[in-house]
Amino acid sequence: MNTKAGNLLIISAPSGAGKTSLVHGVVKRMQNIAASISHTTRPRRPGETDGVDYFFITEPEFEKMIQEGEFLEYAQVFGNLYGTSRTQIDRILDTGIDLLVELDWQGARSIRDIYPDTVSIFVMPPSEKALRERLVARRMDQKEIIQQRMQAAMSEISHYREYEFLVINDDFERALQELCLIVGASRLKTASQRKSLRQILDRMASEDSV
Ligand code: 5GP
């Protein structure tokens, strides 16, 4: 067992629920945690930076990475491909740093199958109305795309029961505090502490049984 292995936390939400800002907030506020950067074939939006928000790649490049087994999981979302790099995740977790991975419900299922200890969090917008307003306020997408995203959002929301934790993002600061609490609690899980404290814990447990 790698005694330094960090915890893997997956976070899903419909687009417009504020998940990305929350993830950035947690990484800023807490120590020893990073956010993974996915690969996507989706065009870059204004304000997004390659290698920061996503690795923006072409479809042939994405296909090549699939062939080479580079993705831990990948899925098609709104007609674009999104994937989580196996190397990136393993490299970060091996250094003992916790990792927050943003993905949709399909990706969340795949990751949970591979890493059963994964902590899963769903971020919910406060209402359908608020979600629509946020999608429109972004003004990044055309009207039909917003409609499509609205439908996709409702379908994403239908999977919320598959997650261990639920955060309602009606107040950003409170939602951020709740996410930080979840990260903190995941570090206190027995399985998580056993990675670094195994010897001490085993010794105490055996003394107790004498
Ligand atoms: P957006 O284009 O709005 O940034 O993201 C669209 C959707 O793709 C979101 O639900 C987001 O969670 C999901 N997504 C982002 N990265 C990944 C990934 O690596 N794998 C999967 N399966 N979904 C992802």
Closest ligand 1 atom to the C-alpha of 107? 22
Confidence of residue 168 (pLDDT cuts 50, 70, 90): very high
Domains of the chain: 8-191 (3.40.50.300)
Range from 48-52, 68-72, 135-139, 191-195 carrying the lowest mean pLDDT: 135-139
* Mutation choice for ligand 1 from 45, 57, 104, 160, CB with most ligand atoms inside 8 A: 104
3-state SS class at 56: strand
Residue 135's nearest CA partner among 154, 116, 120 is 154
Q: Whose CA is nearest to atom 14 of ligand 1?
A: 103
For ligand 1, the distance from its centroid to the CA atom of residue 63, given in whole angstroms, is 17
Closest ligand 1 atom to the C-alpha of 152? 10
Q: Whose CA is nearest to atom 24 of ligand 1?
A: 103
Of all residues in the chain, the percent with pLDDT exceeding 90 is 66
- Ramachandran sector of residue 47 (left: φ over 0; alpha: ψ -120 to 50; beta: rest): left
What is the rounded distance in angstroms from the CA atom of residue 59 to the CA atom of residue 37?
Answer: 17
List 19's β-bridge partners, or say none.
none
The verdict on the CB of residue 146 being under 6 Å from ligand 1 is no
For ligand 1, the distance from its centroid to the CA atom of residue 169, given in whole angstroms, is 18
What is the rounded distance in angstroms from the CA atom of residue 32 to the CA atom of residue 204?
Answer: 28
Single pTM value for the model: 0.89
Q: How high is the pLDDT of residue 133?
A: 85
Residue 56's nearest CA partner among 33, 30, 28, 82 is 82
Cβ atoms of residues 51 and 88 within 8 Å: no
In this model, does residue 108 exceed pLDDT 90? yes
13-55 pLDDT per residue, tens? 988 788 889 999 999 999 999 999 999 999 998 889 999 999 9
For ligand 1, the distance from its centroid to the CA atom of residue 137, given in whole angstroms, is 20
142-156 pLDDT per residue, tens? 778 788 878 888 999
